[in-house]
């Protein structure tokens, strides 16, 4: 990986019961940990295009990006990312279909979020006041 930070996007998607869509990372960094669906911005893409592509690639859902909710800076020994977390909604009724980097995907009941092995940075995501207000936690 280059020594320049990478720009990423992630989707904050909740269902009618208030559960949060999360993926289990299938590759490093942080293989086996849970995170929001998303990934890297590719050359020439808008943030919205990248978000739609990444969610479709990881879980097979078509989404609509609604607004920026949170900005995460993730600095690991092997990587440095700036990730823009967008509120998004699912278009239509599609079942989750795993692909790409995700080894699993689930709707996480937020009352059980402390029992999940989250990827680095998700702890500060859940502590953010705007995130807490949006997720009602």
Q: Which fold has domain 6-129?
A: Nucleoside Triphosphate Pyrophosphohydrolase (3.90.79)
70-94 residue pLDDT tens: 999 988 887 788 999 999 999 987 7
Q: Apex CA 134: angle with CA 20 and CA 48, to 5°?
A: 70
Query: For residue 93, what pLDDT is reported?
Result: 76
Separation between Cα atoms, residue 134 and residue 137, nearest integer Å: 8
- Scanning the chain, the segments in alpha helix (DSSP H) are 47-59, 122-127, 129-135
Tokens encoding 7: 């720009």
Query: For residue 2, what pLDDT is reported?
Result: 58
Domain positions in the chain are 6-129
Are residues 36 and 85 in contact, defined by beta-carbon separation less than 8 angstroms?
Answer: yes
Compute how many other C-beta atoms are within 10 angstroms of the C-beta atom of residue 118: 18
Q: Apex CA 89: angle with CA 85 and CA 92, to 5°?
A: 150
Query: For residue 21, what pLDDT is reported?
Result: 97
CA dihedral 57→76→6→106, nearest 10 degrees, is: 20
Average pLDDT over all residues of the chain: 92
50-71 residue pLDDT tens: 999 999 999 999 999 999 999 9
Q: Which of 106, 61, 108, 74 lies closest to 1 in space, CA to CA?
A: 74
Q: How far apart are the first and last CA of the chain?
A: 36
């Amino acid at each position: 990986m280059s020594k320049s930070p990478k720009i990423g996007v992630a989707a904050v998607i909740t269902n009618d019961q208030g559960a949060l869509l999360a993926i289990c990372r299938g590759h490093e960094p942080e293989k086996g940990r849970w995170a929001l669906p998303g990934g890297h911005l590719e050359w020439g893409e808008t943030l919205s295009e990248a978000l739609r592509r990444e969610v479709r690639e990881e879980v097979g859902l078509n989404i609509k990006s609604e607004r920026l909710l949170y900005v995460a800076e993730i600095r690991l020994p092997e990587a440095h990312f700036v990730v823009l977390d967008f509120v998004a909604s699912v278009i239509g009724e599609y079942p989750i279909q795993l692909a790409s980097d995700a080894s699993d995907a689930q709707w996480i009941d937020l009352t059980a979020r402390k029992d999940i092995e989250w990827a680095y940075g998700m702890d500060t995501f859940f502590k953010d006041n705007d995130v807490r207000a949006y997720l009602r936690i």
